[in-house]
């Protein structure tokens, strides 16, 4: 059972990182606590165990931790969605704008196919830019279905990351703060 208060108590807030005025939510404190990590992976498993997930896509780099653990538990493969130049074979790319400029994400061209049911996982939803790029990239492979998940969704005025996605995109978050 997900104890949201317990997770929030173990989430570290880092003021003025990476720039003044930003209150960075550091999930590494959730990952290093075995009870928090187990609780999050188990909750996500319960949410997705009957969805037929065949691939979990983790967004670099914090999305790799829980994404890979969840893939193992679901009996699915794990796909890395990385920054440019980090994957050794042929890739597909998608660029996006973020608060501090432009960025790009890549996935190997043989990572996903049209028979897959994909869950894209990342640690945090703020503006939605990186996840929207990852989602658009995954859609290029034409999977049967795509789900999106975050550990944390920031509900701070002006961010509204959910607005980056159509209403028919199935998205879950464990914590809204």
Distance between CA atoms of residues 131 and 98, nearest Å: 11
- CATH for 81: 3.40.50.2020
Q: For the chain, which residues score pLDDT lower than 50? A: none
Indicate yes or no: pTM above 0.85: yes
CA–CA distance, 157 with 134 (Å, rounded to integer) = 24
Asked whether the CA dihedral 134, 68, 71, 37 is positive or negative, the reply is: negative
Domain count, the chain: 1
Q: Is residue 117 part of a domain?
A: yes
Question: Per the structure block, which two tokens stand in for 77?
Answer: 């493969």
List residues with catalytic annotation.
Answer: 62, 99
Domain residues for the domain of 112 are 52-176
Asked if 148 and 171 count as a contact pair (C-beta separation under 8 A), the reply is yes
pLDDT of residue 159: 84
Helix extents (H) in 3-118:
4-10, 28-31, 34-48, 62-74
Does residue 152 lie in a domain region? yes
Q: What is the pLDDT of residue 17?
A: 93
Q: Is residue 2 part of a domain?
A: no
Q: Is residue 4 part of a domain?
A: no
CA distance 52 to 33: 29
Q: Is 101 among the domain residues?
A: yes
Q: Is residue 58 part of a domain?
A: yes
pLDDT tens digits along 126-145 = 989 999 999 999 999 999 99
Q: Would you state the pLDDT for residue 172?
A: 98
| Closest CA relative to residue 126, chosen from 94, 169, 163, 101 | 163
């Amino acid at each position: 059972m997900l104890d949201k208060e317990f997770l929030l108590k173990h989430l570290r807030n880092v003021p003025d990182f990476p720039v003044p005025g930003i209150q960075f939510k550091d999930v590494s404190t959730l990952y290093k606590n075995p009870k928090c990590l187990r609780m999050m992976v188990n909750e996500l498993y319960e949410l997705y165990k009957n969805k037929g997930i065949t691939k979990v896509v983790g967004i670099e780099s914090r999305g790799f931790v829980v994404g890979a653990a969840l893939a193992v538990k679901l009996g699915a493969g794990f796909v890395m969605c990385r920054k440019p130049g980090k994957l050794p074979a042929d890739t597909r790319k998608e660029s996006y704008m973020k608060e501090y400029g432009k960025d790009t994400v890549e996935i190997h061209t043989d990572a996903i196919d049209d028979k897959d049911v994909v869950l894209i996982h990342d640690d945090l939803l703020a503006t939605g830019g990186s996840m929207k790029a990852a989602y658009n990239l995954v859609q290029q492979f034409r999977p049967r279905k795509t789900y999106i998940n975050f550990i944390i969704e920031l509900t701070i005025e002006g961010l509204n990351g959910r607005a980056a996605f159509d209403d028919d995109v199935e998205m879950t978050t464990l914590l809204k703060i």
